[in-house]
A = this chain, B = another copy of it.
Amino acid sequence: MAQKFMIGELARRTETKVQTIRYYEEIGVMPQAIRAANNRRLYDETHLERLTFIRHSRELGFSLDDIRNLLALSDQPDRPCNEVDAIARTHLDNVESKIASLQVLQEELNRMISHCSGGKVSDCRIIKVLADHSLCQGHE
């Protein structure tokens, strides 16, 4: 029988907050943990693997909903992996469009800041641009 450990150890080994693990159980991405006689949650290596998967996927920006689907798929090793691929590609698309729109923001912020003369608020280019969308790039 495998070694069991409590939530604190699982939290330490996965660098996850204890509350976060309980939250994952509550919303069903982690299974209901078996309880010891004193009502404390008991885990083994399979839980550690599952939580590692979840945390790594979160680091890569997948939503918990995506992760739920990825976990369900990884439990069915014989199915083709197109669905896994589709989830990852959709997420990549989202990441790419987020990068693109942040780069537009970045340019606009740079433009605003570089035009600021360091004088009084009444002359501040930043305030002017914020007040008037037409001063933005591409609107002159």
Asked if A131 and B95 make an inter-chain contact with CB atoms under 8 angstroms apart, the answer reads no
Asked if B121 and A80 make an inter-chain contact with CB atoms under 8 angstroms apart, the answer reads yes
Asked if A109 and B92 make an inter-chain contact with CB atoms under 8 angstroms apart, the answer reads yes
Query: A95 → chain B, closest Cβ, in Å?
Result: 5
Asked if B124 and A84 make an inter-chain contact with CB atoms under 8 angstroms apart, the answer reads yes
Asked if A99 and B103 make an inter-chain contact with CB atoms under 8 angstroms apart, the answer reads yes
Size range of the interface on A? 35 or more
Copies of this protein chain in the complex: 2
B residues less than 8 Å from A53 (CB atoms): 130-131
Distance in angstroms between the alpha carbons of A123 and B85 in the assembled complex? 12
Query: A56 → chain B, closest Cβ, in Å?
Result: 5
Residue of chain B at shortest CB distance from A103: B99
Asked if A27 CB lies within 8 Å of chain B CBs, one says no
Residues of A within 8 A of B (CB): 49, 52-53, 56-57, 60-61, 70, 73-74, 76-82, 84-85, 88-89, 91-92, 95-96, 98-99, 102-103, 105-106, 108-110, 112-113, 116, 118-124, 126-127, 129-133
Question: What are 12 contact pairs spanning A and B, CB under 8 A?
Answer: A52-B131, A53-B130, A56-B133, A74-B127, A77-B121, A78-B120, A79-B120, A81-B121, A88-B126, A92-B109, A92-B110, A99-B103
